[in-house]
């Protein structure tokens, strides 16, 4: 890899981190990805990555900032500060800048079980808290991570790591989403014999079915699963705990159980018409699209969930809403509109959203870029929502009655108020609800008699993953509520460490 260093004195062990003037010399660079006209015709990954030379320049932008927040891993008032995994980003960037990608990847893997996932799907919380980002474009940490993963696989550095010892103990992990995979990986490396139970026909959970292939190629997920199996993790797919094995039998067969089932109860709008055919939770739609892509079979709704030649309305925003936009485009939707009841975010940070909190600013993601290129405008509309879903002659959705909102302060609270006379009707052949999730399913929680919090999530003591049942732990969205992949990875990793420590303590 060519070096961008200005002198031969830049050697490992120097006290100065990176290139002190790098942020003055190099502008931020992001991969442009495959051209929109080409990529909307297929489901291949759109991200192409940056060249090694450009990656070194991006790493050189990392400042010797003294107190860095990019790896803080904190949450304040619901907003993140830095990477939840606490990846030591300045050290990693420094090694990349010095032309030491192998060492940088090794440093990344100390805290991060699966860089290949976050390098593709993470919103880069680290960049939101980058010191450089306080006054300029932040360091392109996600691009660097994506590059390191590609480098490691090309150089054979991302293969199996066999556990040094085996404890002889057995741990069951229920659910193979990001939390479950991270938990299983860490427990296995610590020497526990791990069996992962997944009720779907393929492992990966949200990574496999909830995120479209063009954003996260499913072969990337299966590649990681294969490595974990080589390392000794056993996956039982199409196997539902509580159906295929009684919960009490599971507890009797394993020394500990970690629940990583996710938050899968979708939130639906409280309006008429939600039971019409063609009105579906967004993740069910995305799951159906992925199943069609992988093996040509759909869920029970069949063509009802296909956007081809339909007017598609997406209720809600976020990453899931964006993924619905991109998937509907590729299926050949006639039109796409995305409703958000909130006001359009500001272009810059508001006074109540200071650095290093995650910036709540207007951003255009890949799906909106694609829709704007195809239809001539961004599909998002703000301060609007559905008031009623209208059905046709055979119980299918045919239209959406909408209403506009204004945001006002009333009785000391800031909230939406309907604008009188703003009602309208839109044609709709498919309505996708991307309003998030209410919480986890109750089946296992009730069968185990676990305590829950007011939101219905599994309750654990602060700073712990141990449930009200001694040998049962919980991690990910099932414990913390709907969140990001990177938070689930952190929870799975840390729950595994606590579970291992608990099992060790029982020997004494």
How much is the average pLDDT of 236-244?
Answer: 95
The per-residue pLDDT for 365 is 96
Instruction: Identify the band that residue 410 occupies on the pLDDT scale cut at 50, 70 and 90.
Output: confident
- Whether the upstream peptide bond of residue 27 has omega within 30° of 0, thus cis, is no
Tens of pLDDT, residue by residue over 207-228, are 999 999 999 999 999 999 999 9
**For helices 101-111 and 89-97, what crossing angle results, to 10°?**
170
Tens of pLDDT, residue by residue over 339-360, are 999 999 999 999 999 999 999 9
Q: Which residue has the tokens 């939840």?
A: 84
Percentage of residues in the chain with pLDDT exceeding 70?
Answer: 95
- CA-CA distance, 437 to 210, in Å (whole number)? 13
Fold of the CATH domain 22-154: Fumarate Reductase Iron-sulfur Protein; Chain B, domain 2 (1.10.1060)
DSSP summary character for residue 401 = E
Closest CA to 180 of 160, 205, 216: 205
Tens of pLDDT, residue by residue over 416-440, are 999 999 999 999 999 999 999 999 9
113, pLDDT greater than 80? yes
Under CATH, domain 268-435 is a member of which superfamily? FAD/NAD(P)-binding domain (3.50.50.60)
Percentage of residues in the chain with pLDDT exceeding 90?
Answer: 90
Contact partners, residue 94, CB within 8 Å, separation at least 6? 17, 18, 59, 62
* Per-residue tokens: 195: 């069996």
Closest CA to 46 of 34, 36, 31: 34
Q: Concatenated DSSP letters for 206-236?
A: IIIIIS-TTTS-HHHHHHHHHHHHHHT-EEE
4, pLDDT greater than 90? no
Element (H, E) at 284: helix 282-295
- CA-CA distance, 468 to 360, in Å (whole number)? 36
The per-residue pLDDT for 412 is 87
pTM: 0.94
Instruction: Identify the band that residue 2 occupies on the pLDDT scale cut at 50, 70 and 90.
Output: very low
Instruction: Report, in this order, helix, strand and coil percent for the chain, each rounded to 5.
Output: 35, 20, 45
Residue ranges, comma separated, of all CATH 1.10.1060.10 domains in the chain are 22-154
How confident is the prediction for the chain on average, in pLDDT? 93
- CA-CA distance, 93 to 62, in Å (whole number)? 7
Residue ranges, comma separated, of all CATH 3.50.50.60 domains in the chain are 170-264+438-505, 268-435
The per-residue pLDDT for 488 is 98
Output Rg (C-alpha) for the chain, integer angstroms.
Answer: 24
The per-residue pLDDT for 18 is 75
- The partner residues of 76 in beta bridges, in order of sequence, read 79
CATH architecture of 170-264+438-505: 3-Layer(bba) Sandwich (3.50)
10, pLDDT greater than 60? no
The per-residue pLDDT for 9 is 35
- CA-CA distance, 166 to 67, in Å (whole number)? 40
**For helices 178-189 and 485-505, what crossing angle results, to 10°?**
40
Q: How many CB atoms lie within 10 A of CB 374?
A: 15
- CA-CA distance, 211 to 121, in Å (whole number)? 8
Closest CA to 30 of 12, 49, 53: 49
For 182, phi then psi, to 5°, come to -65, -40
DSSP summary character for residue 351 = T
The per-residue pLDDT for 6 is 35
The per-residue pLDDT for 77 is 82
- CA-CA distance, 414 to 501, in Å (whole number)? 46
The per-residue pLDDT for 185 is 98
Tens of pLDDT, residue by residue over 268-296, are 999 999 999 999 999 999 999 999 999 87
Element (H, E) at 386: strand 384-391
Tens of pLDDT, residue by residue over 121-145, are 999 999 999 999 998 999 999 999 9
The per-residue pLDDT for 301 is 60
Instruction: Identify the band that residue 14 occupies on the pLDDT scale cut at 50, 70 and 90.
Output: low
251, pLDDT greater than 80? yes
CB 70 within 8 A of CB 134: no
Tens of pLDDT, residue by residue over 176-216, are 999 999 999 999 999 999 999 999 999 999 999 999 999 99
């Amino acid at each position: 890899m060519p070096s961008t260093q200005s002198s031969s004195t830049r050697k490992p062990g120097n006290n100065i981190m990176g290139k002190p003037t790098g942020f003055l010399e190099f502008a931020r660079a992001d991969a442009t990805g495959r051209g929109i006209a080409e990529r909307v015709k297929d489901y291949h990954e759109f991200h192409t990555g940056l060249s090694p030379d450009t990656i070194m320049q991006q790493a050189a932008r990392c400042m010797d900032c003294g107190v860095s927040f990019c790896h803080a891993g904190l949450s304040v008032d619901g907003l993140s500060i830095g990477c939840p995994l606490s990846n030591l980003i300045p050290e990693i960037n420094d090694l990349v800048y010095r032309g030491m990608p192998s060492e940088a990847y090794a440093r990344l893997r100390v805290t991060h079980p699966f860089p290949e996932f976050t390098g593709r799907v993470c919103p880069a919380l680290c960049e939101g808290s980058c010191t450089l980002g306080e006054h300029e474009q932040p360091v392109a940490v996600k691009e660097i991570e994506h590059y390191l993963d590609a480098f490691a696989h090309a150089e054979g550095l991302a293969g199996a790591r066999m556990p040094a010892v085996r404890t002889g103990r057995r741990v069951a992990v229920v659910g193979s989403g990001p939390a479950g995979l991270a938990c299983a990986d860490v427990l296995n490396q610590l020497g526990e014999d791990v069996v992962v139970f997944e009720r779907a026909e393929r492992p990966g959970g949200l990574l496999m079915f909830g995120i479209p292939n063009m954003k996260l190629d499913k072969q990337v997920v299966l590649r990681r699963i294969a490595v974990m199996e080589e390392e000794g993790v056993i996956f039982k797919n199409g196997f539902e705990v509580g159906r295929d094995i009684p919960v009490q039998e599971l507890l009797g067969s394993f020394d500990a159980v970690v629940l990583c089932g996710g938050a899968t109860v979708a939130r639906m709008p409280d309006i008429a018409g939600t039971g019409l055919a063609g009105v579906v939770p967004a993740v069910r739609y995305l799951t159906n699209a992925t199943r069609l892509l992988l093996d040509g079979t759909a869920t029970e709704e069949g063509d009802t969930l296909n956007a081809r030649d339909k007017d598609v309305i997406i209720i809600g925003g976020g990453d899931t809403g964006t993924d619905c936009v991109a998937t509907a485009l590729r299926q050949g939707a006639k039109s796409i509109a995305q409703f958000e009841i909130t006001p359009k975010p500001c272009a810059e940070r508001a006074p109540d959203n200071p650095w290093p909190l995650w910036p709540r600013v207007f951003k255009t993601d890949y799906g909106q870029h694609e829709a704007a290129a195809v239809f001539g405008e961004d599909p998002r509309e703000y301060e609007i929502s559905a008031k009623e879903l209208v059905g046709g002659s055979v119980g299918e959705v045919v239209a959406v009655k909408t209403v506009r909102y204004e945001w006002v302060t009333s009785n000391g609270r800031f909230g939406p108020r309907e604008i009188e006379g703003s009602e309208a009707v839109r044609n709709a052949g498919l309505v996708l609800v991307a309003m998030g999730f209410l919480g986890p399913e109750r089946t296992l929680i009730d069968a185990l008699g676990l305590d829950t919090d007011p939101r219905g999530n599994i309750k654990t003591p602060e700073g712990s993953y141990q449930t009200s049942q001694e040998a049962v732990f919980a991690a990910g969205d099932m414990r913390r509520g709907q969140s990001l992949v990177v938070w689930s990875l952190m929870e799975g990793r840390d729950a595994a460490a606590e579970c291992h420590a608990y099992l060790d303590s029982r020997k004494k």
